[in-house]
Structure 1
């Protein structure tokens, strides 16, 4: 973007996390295979951002270096692997195990930011990361009678962990490239690559691309506008202005927002353990982000 918003980046990030929190509700309402929903979410998001990127940022595209272009391709591939691995993990392990492991991504972002980007991690930020991850683990275990170890399989756990590592790579790539590349050219390449990769996943799984009712197409569009544009795209604006660790930890607020929306829209009442975990996530996110925002 060429014009800075007159609001703190932390406030913008909060809006992006809230928008991303709607993803679980929209997916719950959808009857389509999860990989199909993920594909159309990214495809429609790409269709929305590409005209702006080409129309208003054509010169920025021309200035895109080979290094940054390849980096954006890598980020898009990482995002696609994240979606594919995380969704597939749910077919092989418990929801509790999958969510707990995929939400370990701030650990990989923190280590990667320290090793690759030279971002220092202070004591308060580290403490916030630990508290938020523990809270996320408590939340994901709150509504299940099984435990992480007794119900999970090695394969499913490995896929969920792969989802955490790859989304960390996506965040780190964005933090590096967005220092030099405008928002819309960057996300157009990332989302385009991600859509192609997810299309291959849908083909490999043998799912249909068409034949869904109008309601499903509206849900796909909702996933693109809410979690896609307002969630991920706005997060890519913020990541130019805040450390990658701050953005990554803030994303841990997504399950809290999703739980609140499920209470209002789906009449799903969280149990006391889930509430306690959610409060811990909010506290951890606050400690890790407010000091540095």
Structure 2
């Protein structure tokens, strides 16, 4: 049964509402950063496809239960091209190839390559969604990417990368950017919860060929690895992808992509606090550069509306995500 989203769920960017969209974006950043800690544990016991399927199953069950409680039903027919496209690219392909790629290259190299994603996102958003490319966004992304490179160099090992791993991480970045840009128009026709739930379901269906591997590996995996896989599904997937969709509906794809450059800095902090991994001075510098770039990208020019007009017009007013 198809239900029409409520006015609250589908409110335009202009009614983004004060603190809610920035809080949603911040929640996404923190939970996606925490995923790196959990993937480290779960990835030791589960292969890339099995880990992706287990994570997506946990996410789909969580989201489905919330959707039933809220009685939101299905999004409108116009949302389904975006739901299917983002489900296949972002929930399905991205998670599998990223897990695989990180087994082929060291963490620093993976971080540098995957962080091409937000840049591709801004370019695709400008090309396909007409969002524009304001100079502050480009400047902030350039600064943040430089910080990501610094973090990556500080974490990179020697002789541990492969051509296959580099290509897989690049494919993950392309799938990430494409999935987000495809998802954004769908948010006009359904609530963030609806779009995320059915996108996650599509990704789960795409990963079903890994069912046998998941069952086999789950029988031998330590409890901690399985719990980390479930955590990945419930929080960095179900919750974080929903808060991402909520914030994305209220700003441009380019600005949301720039926000994710805060993730490396948060990962460094979490590894320090939770894993007692003291970061190298160069890593700290890179993380601070990432945050500085995010700060630049989230600001707007006050008196240059004629220069940045197209992109500024696509953003929400003062109450929205900045």
Summarize the alignment of residues 95-244 of structure 1 with structure 2, pairs less than 5 Å apart. Answer: 95-146=107-158, 152-201=161-210, 203=212, 208-244=217-253
Distance change (3 Å), C-alpha of 1:274 and 1:207: farther
- Give me the whole-angstrom Cα distance separating, in 1, the residues matched to 2:34 and 2:198: 24
Deviates more, 1:121-130 or 1:228-237: 228-237
Q: Which runs of 5+ in 1 are unaligned?
A: none
Summarize the alignment of residues 65-104 of structure 1 with structure 2, pairs less than 5 Å apart. Answer: 65=77, 67-79=78-90, 80-104=92-116
Deviates more, 1:218-227 or 1:232-241: 218-227
Distance change (3 Å), C-alpha of 1:131 and 1:201: farther
**1:32 to 2:41 alignment:** no
TM-score, with structure 1 as normaliser: 0.88
- Give me the whole-angstrom Cα distance separating, in 2, the residues matched to 1:88 and 1:290: 36
- Give me the whole-angstrom Cα distance separating, in 2, the residues matched to 1:10 and 1:232: 14
Q: Which runs of 5+ in 2 are unaligned?
A: 1-5, 10-15, 301-314, 316-321
Distance change (3 Å), C-alpha of 1:202 and 1:111: farther
Deviations 1:104-144 (A, max 9, x none): 00121111101110001111110001111111111011023
RMSD, matched Cα = 2.4
Summarize the alignment of residues 8-47 of structure 1 with structure 2, pairs less than 5 Å apart. Answer: 8-30=20-42, 31-35=44-48, 36-47=50-61
**1:253 to 2:262 alignment:** yes
Deviates more, 1:153-162 or 1:123-132: 153-162
Deviations 1:77-115 (A, max 9, x none): 101111111221223334332221111001211111011
Deviations 1:216-252 (A, max 9, x none): 3322232223212332221111110011111111112
**How many angstroms does 1:21 deviate by?**
1.0
Q: Which runs of 4+ in 1 moved over 6 A?
A: none
**How many angstroms does 1:275 deviate by?**
0.9
**How many angstroms does 1:214 deviate by?**
3.5
How many residue pairs get aligned? The number is 287
Report the equivalent of 1:265. 274
Deviations 1:150-173 (A, max 9, x none): 764332211111100100011112
Distance change (3 Å), C-alpha of 1:71 and 1:204: farther
The one of 271, 276, 287 equivalent to 1:278 is 287
